[in-house]
Structure 1
Amino acid sequence: MSLGTHHNGRGRPAPGAAEPLPAAADRIRQAVASVIEGKPEVVRMALTVLLAEGHLLIEDVPGVGKTMLAKALGRAVDCSVQRVQFTPDLLPGDITGVSVYHQETGEFEFNPGPVFANIVLGDEINRASPKTQSALLECMEEMQVSVDGTPRPLERPFMVVATQNPGDMEGTYPLPEAQRDRFMARIAVGYPAPQAELDMIDMHGADEPLERLAPAASVAEVRSMVEQVRTVHVAPGVRRYVVDLVAATRTSPALRLGASPRATLHLVRAARAYAALEGRAYVVPDDVQALAVPVLAHRLLLAPEARVERRTAEQVVAELVARLPIPSPR
Structure 2
Amino acid sequence: MSKQQKGLEYWVQWQVPVCAAIIVIPAMVALNYIKNQNNKKNHTVLRSFDLWNSCWRNLNPLWLLLYRAFSFLFLASLLYNMVAITGAFAFFFYTQWTFALVVLYFAVATGVSAYGCWMSRKKVPSEDGASTYTEEEFKDKIKLQSAHAQKEIHQNAGSWGSLMQAMYQTCAGASVLTDLVFWCLLVPLLANVQFELTLLIGAIHTVNAVSLIGDTALNGLPFTWSGFAYFALWSCLYITFQWIVHACGFMTWWPYPFLELNTPLAPLWYFGMALFHVPCYGIYAMIVKAKNSFLPRLFPRAFVRLN
Q: Same fold (TM over 0.5)?
A: no
TM-score interval (norm. to shorter)? under 0.3
Higher RCO (CA-CA < 8 Å; seq separation 6+) = 2
Higher strand share: 1
Instruction: Give the TM-score of the pair, scaled to structure 1.
Output: 0.24
Larger radius of gyration: 2
TM-score, structure 2 length as denominator?
A: 0.25
